[in-house]
Amino acid sequence: MIIGGGFAGTTLVQALDGRLPDGVELLLISEESHTTFNPMLPEVVGASIFPEQVVAPIRQMLSRAHFIMGRVTALDSSRRALTCTTLAGEREIGYEHLVLAFGNRARLDLLPGLADHALPLKTVGDAMHIRNVVLRRLARIELEDAPDMRRALGHFVVIGGGFSGVEVAGELVDCLKSIRRYYPRTNGYEPKITLLQDLPRLLPELPEKLGRAAHRSLAKRGVVVRTGVRAAAISDRGVRLADGEFIAANTVLCTIGTQPNPLVERSSFTVERGRIVVGADLSVPDASGVWAIGDCALIRNARDKAFAPPTAQFAIAEARCLARNLLSVLQGGPTSSFNYRSRGSIAAIGHRKGVGSVFGLQLSGLPAWLLWRAYYLSKMPTLGRKVRIFVEWTWGMFFPNDITHLRFIRSAELDSPTHPSTPSPLSESRPNVLRVEAANI
């Protein structure tokens, strides 16, 4: 039984599907019916690609394995059973081997005001919401005359200079440049993007040379990059820095911090740094038949003795290692330690722009961006889906970003007093100003 439909869980189920001995059943449980390619969410924010192009249906990845869309609410490793809430109600399911691969959650308590006034980026829903907020900000600027209000509406602050923060800032600046023609009342200085990084440079996961290249690329395209500054608090008017400076902005995007899945806290497993501690072979100590991989597991890489980073590349490698171990255990054989050499890392920092290090080779610009997209395209299930997305991605390289503001409104809601068009863009993330903004409109 595998819990979690991310990179780790789906790679594992594909590696085991059809290879298990007769009489052994393979079951995958996930809260969603699809796998989300999280590293591509910034491109959804920037409208470079559509949401359906960063998800892959789990059922398309399976042949003999079974799939249940549900949420696991309790684990009992002593009885080798779990409780799962499904569309058909609550079920208790027993297991012989259990693999925990359910990832983590965005952390919203790192800064005062973050939960109420910042927009996290962890799910497809987050990406679509941010995209809609950005489009509503531009539409609102078209209707405003007060300079201070226009500047605040057009200022987008991104907190975090790691992969997600740099990618979001790059995608946003390119998107806004592409679509500003459709908002003729926006001035040359509107909108504005500020990227805050509390470390001395961007992308600390990559060589310093590539971090500087990303900094130059963003600054050249108009992003205000501020390194060595720390956000201290977030309000409905902007961001307060640790040195007391206040940055006025109506939109704050947060790409820092994760927290464990609530299931981890309800379990009896040993947890460090918010992740389940596992042995060298990815088994959970003192829990017979339980294994853990992916972002929810604290895994030490036998190659360099360092903890494996929570990236898609390592999640896939961990899943493949565990598949070999499980097949060996079922046949009465020994297990092996997780030992993996990183292939490198790539960050997409905007439309047709990227930086990365692959097998020691440092890349930037279009080559890095193309390699980054090719990698994730290769992970899509089925040839038909790969071809369709390849055609759509290629087509999108040569045309402006989409400016469709998607809202899922049912017919019965069209004339409702709470119709989504009534609140202002501010109210999407700040319900307390709904009445004032509705009156302004």
pLDDT class for 421, splitting at 50, 70, 90?
low
Whole-angstrom Cα distance, residue 70 to residue 83? 10
Q: Which residue has the higher pLDDT, 221 or 429?
A: 221
Domains in the chain: boundaries: 2-26+64-104+259-333, 114-256+345-396, 411-440
Task: Report whether 422 contacts 431 (CB < 8 A).
Answer: no
Whole-angstrom Cα distance, residue 251 to residue 241? 15
Res. 342: pLDDT tops 70: yes
Q: pLDDT tens-digit profile of 223-262? A: 999 999 999 999 999 999 999 999 999 999 999 988 888 8
* DSSP result, 377-391: HHTSSSHHHHHHHHH
Residue 384: per-residue pLDDT: 85
Residue 439: per-residue pLDDT: 31
Residue 426: per-residue pLDDT: 40
Largest Cα–Cα separation, the chain: 74
Q: pLDDT tens-digit profile of 277-331? A: 999 999 999 999 999 999 999 999 999 999 999 999 999 999 999 999 999 999 9
Q: Which residue has the higher pLDDT, 192 or 189?
A: 192
Domains 2-26+64-104+259-333 and 114-256+345-396 share a fold: yes
What is the SS3 assignment for 319? helix
What is the SS3 assignment for 279? coil
Chain mean pLDDT for the chain: 90
| Beta strand pairing call for 258-260 and 297-298 | unpaired
Fold of 114-256+345-396: FAD/NAD(P)-binding domain (3.50.50)
**For the domain bounded by 2-26+64-104+259-333, which CATH number is listed?**
3.50.50.60
Q: pLDDT tens-digit profile of 208-218? A: 999 999 999 99
Sign of torsion, CA 76 58 122 139? negative
pTM score: 0.88
Residue 399: per-residue pLDDT: 79
Whole-angstrom Cα distance, residue 396 to residue 357? 26
Whole-angstrom Cα distance, residue 201 to residue 222? 17
